[in-house]
């Protein structure tokens, strides 16, 4: 990882305008989300909690967006190579990463460290910190943050990795398709909104089938104390089971894949 980070810094030092443009583009992405919810809550008129969106007050949604921004920035910082997986698979470029005892998934997916993503991660973390600090009085946040916040961030990082592997595992079984790319865009975007706005069956699928709920909904709900304690303790087991199944599917796909000519 240290070698990948060094390569990333050297690469971006040669493309400084690209660095600035990427940071600006992602910053505008965050601003657009914040403004969208401010509009939904009446241009800030209900910030005091008079109104709610599917049971989420304005202050709670700010924390939710902070979790979503952090999840998105983690992908940009460490997992940007995932967008090239389908093409590299078809071109036979995956063969050089199938080494032992190294992990093929780690060597491939973590190779594109992004300094601009790290900058946006700092911005996302700052928004999350601001939202949590603003909620100490209105949202009843307290010393529980000492364990709920680190736990929430671990869940986000863990889930992003295995969701990304799950999306791209499709490519190992359905060559010459962009289903993995499409699923990543569609499902992750669904996870950036409170799940209570969706129909019940879709909400359950996003929690237990393809658990994008772990990217923002579960972390935000955990920090805000919106979860039943039994569910809060049980849901990480769902994520571990999902990760185990995903890893096995990915490894089996690698065994079936030989090269671009296979």
How far apart CA 262 and CA 257 sit, in angstroms, is 7
Judge contact between 120 and 76, C-beta under 8 A: yes
The angle that helices 16-40 and 2-13 make with each other, rounded to 10 degrees, is 100
Distances from the Cα of 46 to the Cαs of 43, 55, 56, 221, in angstroms? 8, 13, 12, 20
How far apart CA 138 and CA 129 sit, in angstroms, is 15
How far apart CA 206 and CA 223 sit, in angstroms, is 19
| Contacting residues for 99 by C-beta, under 8 A, at least 6 apart | 107
Can you give the pLDDT at residue 12?
A: 72
How far apart CA 218 and CA 214 sit, in angstroms, is 5
Judge contact between 120 and 73, C-beta under 8 A: yes
Q: Position of tokens 């995903």?
A: 246
55 conformational bin, left if phi > 0, alpha if psi -120 to 50, beta if neither: left
Distances from the Cα of 170 to the Cαs of 57, 78, 112, 181, in angstroms? 37, 21, 21, 9
130-156 burial by CB neighbour count: b if 16+ within 10 A, else e?
ebbeebeeebebeeeeeebbeebbebb
Can you give the pLDDT at residue 103?
A: 86
Can you give the pLDDT at residue 177?
A: 60
Q: Where are the alpha helices (DSSP H) in the chain?
A: 2-13, 16-40, 58-78, 85-91, 104-109, 115-138, 145-173, 179-190, 200-208, 217-224, 229-256
How far apart CA 117 and CA 76 sit, in angstroms, is 5
Phi, psi of 37 (to 5 degrees): -75, -30
Could you give the 3-state DSSP secondary structure of residue 11? Answer: helix
Q: pLDDT tens track of the chain, all 262 residues?
A: 999 999 888 877 766 777 788 888 888 888 988 888 888 887 655 555 557 778 888 889 999 999 999 999 999 999 988 888 888 887 778 878 877 778 888 999 999 898 888 999 999 999 999 999 887 767 777 778 889 999 999 999 999 999 999 988 887 777 656 677 777 778 888 888 889 989 999 999 999 999 999 999 999 999 999 999 999 999 999 999 999 999 999 988 887 776 555 4
Can you give the pLDDT at residue 228?
A: 92
| Contacting residues for 152 by C-beta, under 8 A, at least 6 apart | 67, 218, 219, 220, 222, 223
Can you give the pLDDT at residue 247?
A: 92
Can you give the pLDDT at residue 262?
A: 47
Can you give the pLDDT at residue 219?
A: 96
Does the reported pTM lie above 0.95? no
Judge contact between 112 and 153, C-beta under 8 A: no
Q: Position of tokens 């997986």?
A: 85
């Amino acid at each position: 990882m240290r070698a990948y980070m060094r390569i990333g810094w050297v690469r971006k030092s040669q493309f400084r305008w690209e660095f600035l443009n990427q940071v600006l583009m992602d910053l505008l992405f965050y601003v657009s989300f914040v403004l969208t919810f401010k509009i939904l809550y009446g241009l800030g008129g209900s910030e005091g909690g008079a109104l709610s969106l599917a049971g989420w007050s304005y202050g709670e949604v700010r924390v939710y967006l902070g979790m979503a921004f952090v999840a998105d920035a983690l992908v940009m910082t460490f997992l940007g190579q995932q967008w090239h997986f389908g093409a590299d698979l078809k071109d036979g470029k995956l063969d050089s990463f199938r080494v032992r005892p190294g992990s093929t998934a780690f060597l491939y997916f973590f190779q594109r460290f992004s300094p601009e993503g790290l900058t946006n991660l700092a911005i996302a973390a700052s928004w999350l910190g601001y939202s949590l600090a603003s909620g100490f009085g209105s949202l009843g946040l307290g010393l529980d943050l000492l364990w709920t916040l680190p736990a929430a961030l671990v869940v986000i990082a863990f889930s992003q990795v295995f969701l990304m592997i799950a999306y791209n595992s499709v490519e190992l079984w359905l060559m010459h398709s962009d289903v993995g790319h499409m699923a990543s865009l569609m499902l992750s975007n669904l996870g950036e909104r409170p799940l209570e706005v969706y129909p019940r069956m879709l909400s359950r699928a996003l929690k237990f089938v393809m658990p994008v709920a772990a990217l923002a909904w579960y972390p935000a709900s955990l920090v805000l104390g919106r979860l039943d304690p039994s569910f809060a303790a049980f849901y990480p087991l769902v994520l571990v089971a999902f990760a185990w199944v995903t890893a096995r599917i990915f490894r089996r796909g690698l065994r079936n894949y030989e090269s671009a000519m296979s």
